[in-house]
Amino acid sequence: MKYIVAIIQPGRLAAVHEALVAIGIEGLTTSEVQGYGRQKGKTEVYRGTEYTVNFLPKVKIEIAVPGDIAEKACDAIKSAAETGKIGDGKVFVLDLDSALRIRTGEIGVAAL
């Protein structure tokens, strides 16, 4: 199993959600977060200016998926989240050791 953490532009959440549902993802978690990447929150960079760190609003999406679905899920996120502009976000993929559905006690892929 893999745990996918995607940081995207808030305005792309609906499209990414739709794309994930379309490939059969049955559960996900989202949260409103703030962050910055290489541009340190600046959308324009001028030579010689001193950078000030500005946290920009982003949406974090977290999904636990069977290992063989991870690549498909990342592709779906990329396609739906991409505007081609700086700040489109990142996708991180982590190994997931275990999962448990509390109601039934199911574990592993059956718990997803």
Ligand X SMILES: Nc1ncnc2c1ncn2[C@@H]1O[C@H](COP(=O)(O)OP(=O)(O)OP(=O)(O)O)[C@@H](O)[C@H]1O
Q: What residue ranges bind ligand X (CB under 6 A)? A: 7, 35-39, 56, 58, 86-90
- Locate 103 and state its tokens: 């109601």
Q: In terms of CB distance, is 40 or 101 closer to Mg ion?
A: 40
Q: Nearest residue by C-beta to ligand X?
A: 35
Axis crossing angle, helix 13-22 with helix 70-81, rounded to the nearest 10? 150
Smallest separation, CB 40 to ligand X (Å):
8
C-alpha distances (whole Å) from 103 to each of 9, 76, 107, 111 are 34, 30, 11, 10
CB of 10 to ligand X, least distance (A): 11
Picked from Mg ion, ligand X, none, the partner binding residue 90 (CB below 5 to 8 A depending on kind) is ligand X
Instruction: Closer to Mg ion by CB, 37 or 108: give it.
Output: 37
How many Å apart are CA 24 and CA 88, to the nearest integer? 24
The answer to whether 4 and 92 have CB atoms below 8 angstroms apart is yes
Shortest Å, Cβ 57 to ligand X: 9
Of ligand X, Mg ion, none, which one sits near residue 88, judging by CB under 5 to 8 A according to partner kind?
A: ligand X
What Rg value do the Cα atoms of the chain yield, rounded? 16
In 3D, which of 28, 31, 32 has the Cα closest to residue 20? 28
Which residues here bind Mg ion, judged by CB under 5 A? 37-39, 86-87
